[in-house]
Chains A and B, each alone.
Chain A
């Protein structure tokens, strides 16, 4: 059974720093991996989708990588800003079902 883990559960960094969020999964048979952002009390917003054949995707200051063989993905955020404060969730698409990590709560200190 696919399991998705995100470490750390929470992270606090000063504004301007570059940072990396981690996501690991147990079964490499995936269609894609998706990163989402969730603001407090709100729904989820899709950030990046990496197909299983791809190694990385970029959107602005965000870069997501995928290493299927090792069961890992990272979300790199460059030059962090207070507006980046949110919970970041990853989900793997296995058999057309999204399997979710519990998320990393990110706080960017001004």
Chain B
């Protein structure tokens, strides 16, 4: 069974901390994505990656960075956490070809206090 695993279900961090959210997929997918989800706003794309060491900004990259050192792992980094980054974070992966499904992790609920 295909799997996308996010390292934490729940996290509580303090303002100003550096936060790492990890995502691992076992499907050998080239493409990986980080979204945040807020009530009434749907999913918004933060960053995505088409290959190892490649990254592209999404719609809301400010305050975030990413790392893709290995194909199966895509990390989201909050350089200095702020309260407005309290959100649900979702990682996804999909193959590079068109008309393929996206597979999601279980989500990380991050609270910044």
- Residues of chain A touching chain B, judged by Cβ–Cβ distance below 8 Å, are 4, 9, 31-32, 34, 36, 41-46, 49, 51, 89, 91, 93, 96-98, 100-103
Contact = CB atoms under 8 A, between A and B. Distances in A.
7 contacts: A31-B98, A32-B98, A43-B106, A97-B45, A101-B42, A102-B41, A102-B42
Interface string B69-113: 000000000000000000010101000001111111111010000
Interface of B: 4, 6, 33, 40-45, 88, 90, 92, 98-107, 109
Q: How would you classify the secondary structure of chain A's contact residues: helix, strand, loop or mixed?
A: strand
Contact of B107 (A42, A91, A96): A42
B45 A41 contact: no
A89 B101 contact: no
Contacts of A96: 98
B33 to A, nearest CB: 8
Nearest to B109: A41
Contacts of A32: 98-99
A36 B101 CA distance: 10
A4 to B, nearest CB: 8
A49 B101 contact: yes
A43 B104 CA distance: 6
Contacts of B33: 98
